[in-house]
């Protein structure tokens, strides 16, 4: 689809943005038009590179007046195609890259949309604080994208999703007006909490230009372990114990199946099998406490009792930072590790925690019937009920044949999650890829309400028009 942008609109945009503030050079545009897994390729007549919120306001105002659609892009790490324009003007936040403030009294950092997550981590450390979100893509993913997709990651169990970490935002609305909601208050009950719509709004209600984010203390003790269990069901029992034993101190509780671990060992260099023998399932547990020594003590109590009760088959507590990193590396390489195995149907589902084992069992039975010989890896944030459930083509099978069955196969997986009160997109969002699929699972009442809200703020539907209802 090509959207034709009137020449006078382009020249007004160029005038506002000035030298270096825009591009139509195909080489400059290319990396922004391709998603990192090569699944989404886009087109755009114009790349806008605003440097200030006022620039963004001017651009959006011009486009609003002319009815020209805009797609906003941060670090281009999204997985559902939301950031890849299909003919719209592309607004990149890369030059909105200032950390405006970091304050250890208020426990807050105020960062512009184009600041990377890694830069936020670093700035927080400099005032002896921590921004707890962890993403594999943190060197590239930006605050604007993280806020707009309500990103999750590996510390959600303790600290919540992005939604729980945002104190305020600044945004340019679809009509070009600037909304300064950049508060740093822990409490403010004065009307609907407008920022909540922008968090996870995937750029459909305007452009998030900056956010104020909560910082946390650096914790004195941290313990990382891998435990082997017989089944996902036992993993959940162990999770319940971990939460009871360690109070609020469980930071991560990640599940991996043996097959996924083997793919990592086979396909990624310098990885170690986490335990001496092989076991059907593993959990990676991290506990952190403000009390010196407490994390290690809680981990030892938890695993000791679990071994005594034969809940776990084996376990290892990391004895060094390096060993903890090695454990995490096996977890973080679950996705890259399976890539060489061929075409894959990926699912980012969540179900109530109590239903995780049932989900994996039902989905696996269904997939084995639907795609005989397929290889399944199930891994992820089981503490949040969020499983990355991936169905890889049979060993030596045909990629194209497997991909051709993707939609039908994914439908089966999604139906199973939905029947358990689950979500078909726990953390990746809807983007262009899952919007229609989501419509299938939402009630007409909800879709109508969401559409009405969008319509009320963007009546011309110029912001990320391909995304949402």
Q: State the CB neighbour count (10 A cutoff) for residue 192.
A: 7
Taking the complex as a whole, how short is the minimal distance between the CB of residue 242 and a copy of itself, in angstroms? 9
Number of residues that bind a copy of itself (CB under 8 A): 97
Q: State the CB neighbour count (10 A cutoff) for residue 322.
A: 8
CA atoms of 34 and 355, how far apart (whole Å): 36
Binding mask 324-363 for a copy of itself (x = CB under 8 A): --------------------------xxxxx---------
Binding mask 407-436 for a copy of itself (x = CB under 8 A): --------------xxxxxxxxxx---x--
Q: Based on the shown chain and the rule CB under 8 A, indicate whether residue 170 belongs to the binding site for a copy of itself.
A: no
CA atoms of 391 and 406, how far apart (whole Å): 9
CA atoms of 264 and 273, how far apart (whole Å): 9
Q: Which of residues 200-229 bind a copy of itself (CB under 8 A)?
A: 200-201, 216-220
Q: Based on the shown chain and the rule CB under 8 A, indicate whether residue 32 belongs to the binding site for a copy of itself.
A: no
Q: Which of 28, 39, 139, 193 binds a copy of itself (CB under 8 A)?
A: 193
Q: Which of 3, 34, 268, 297 binds a copy of itself (CB under 8 A)?
A: 297
Is residue 171 within 8 A of residue 25, CB to CB? The reply is: no
Tokens of 428: 């990746």
Is residue 112 within 8 A of residue 99, CB to CB? The reply is: yes
Q: Which of 34, 52, 97, 103 binds a copy of itself (CB under 8 A)?
A: 103
Chain centre to alpha carbon of residue 239: 22
Taking the complex as a whole, how short is the minimal distance between the CB of residue 6 and a copy of itself, in angstroms? 27
Taking the complex as a whole, how short is the minimal distance between the CB of residue 207 and a copy of itself, in angstroms? 14
Q: Based on the shown chain and the rule CB under 8 A, indicate whether residue 270 belongs to the binding site for a copy of itself.
A: no
Q: Based on the shown chain and the rule CB under 8 A, indicate whether residue 126 belongs to the binding site for a copy of itself.
A: no
The DSSP result for 367-420, as a single string, is HHHHSTT-EEEEEEEGGGTEEEEEEEPPTT--HHHHHHTHHHHHHHHHHHHHHT
Q: Based on the shown chain and the rule CB under 8 A, indicate whether residue 290 belongs to the binding site for a copy of itself.
A: yes
Taking the complex as a whole, how short is the minimal distance between the CB of residue 288 and a copy of itself, in angstroms? 8
Task: Please name the residues in contact with 78: beta carbons below 8 A apart, sequence gap of 6 or more.
Answer: 35, 84, 145, 149, 428, 429, 431
Taking the complex as a whole, how short is the minimal distance between the CB of residue 106 and a copy of itself, in angstroms? 5
CA distances from 340 to 266, 291, 317 (A): 10, 43, 30
Q: Which of 2, 190, 270, 310 binds a copy of itself (CB under 8 A)?
A: 190
């Amino acid at each position: 689809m090509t959207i034709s942008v009137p020449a006078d609109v382009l020249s007004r945009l160029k005038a506002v943005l000035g030298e270096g503030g825009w591009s139509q050079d195909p080489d400059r545009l290319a990396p922004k038009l391709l998603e990192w897994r090569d699944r989404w390729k886009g087109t755009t007549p114009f790349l806008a590179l605003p440097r200030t919120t006022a620039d963004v306001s001017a651009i959006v105002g011009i486009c609003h007046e002319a009815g020209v659609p805009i797609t906003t892009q941060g670090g281009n790490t999204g997985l559902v195609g939301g950031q890849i324009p299909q003919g719209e003007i592309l607004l990149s936040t890369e030059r909105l890259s200032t950390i405006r403030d970091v304050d250890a009294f208020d426990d807050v950092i105020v960062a512009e949309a184009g600041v990377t997550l890694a830069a936020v981590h670093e700035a927080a450390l400099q005032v002896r604080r921590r921004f707890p979100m962890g993403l594999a893509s943190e060197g590239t993913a930006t605050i604007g994208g993280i806020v707009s997709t309500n990103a999750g990651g590996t510390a959600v169990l303790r600290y919540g999703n992005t939604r729980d970490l945002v104190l305020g935002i600044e945004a340019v609305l679809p009509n070009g007006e600037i909304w300064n909601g950049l508060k740093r208050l822990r409490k403010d009950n004065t009307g609907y909490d407008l920022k909540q719509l922008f968090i996870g709004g995937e750029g459909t209600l305007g452009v998030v230009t900056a956010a104020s984010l909560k910082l946390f203390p650096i914790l004195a003790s941290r313990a990382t372990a891998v435990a082997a269990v017989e089944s996902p069901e036992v993993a959940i029992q162990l999770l319940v114990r971990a939460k009871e034993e360690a109070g609020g101190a469980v930071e991560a509780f990640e599940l991996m199946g043996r097959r996924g671990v083997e793919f990592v060992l086979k396909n990624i260099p310098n990885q170690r099998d986490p335990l001496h023998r092989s076991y059907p399932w593993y959990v990676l547990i991290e506990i952190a406490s403000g009390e010196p020594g407490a994390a290690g003590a809680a981990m030892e109590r938890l695993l000791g009792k679990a071994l005594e009760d034969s809940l776990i088959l084996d376990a290892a507590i990391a004895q060094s930072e390096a060993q903890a990193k090695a454990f995490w590396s096996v977890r973080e390489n679950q996705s890259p590790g399976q890539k060489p195995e061929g075409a894959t149907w990926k699912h980012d589902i969540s179900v109530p925690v109590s239903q995780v084992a049932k989900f994996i069992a039902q989905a696996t039975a269904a997939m084995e019937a639907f795609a005989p010989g397929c290889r399944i890896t199930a891994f992820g944030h089981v503490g949040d009920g969020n499983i990355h459930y991936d169905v890889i083509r049979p060993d030596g099978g045909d990629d194209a044949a497997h991909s051709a069955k993707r939609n039908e196969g994914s439908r089966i997986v999604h139906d199973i999650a939905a029947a358990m009160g689950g979500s078909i997109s726990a953390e990746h969002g809807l983007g262009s890829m899952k919007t229609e699929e989501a419509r299938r699972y939402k009630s007409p009442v909800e879709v109508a309400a969401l559409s009405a809200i969008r319509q009320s703020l963007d009546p011309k539907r110029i912001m990320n028009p391909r995304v949402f209802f």
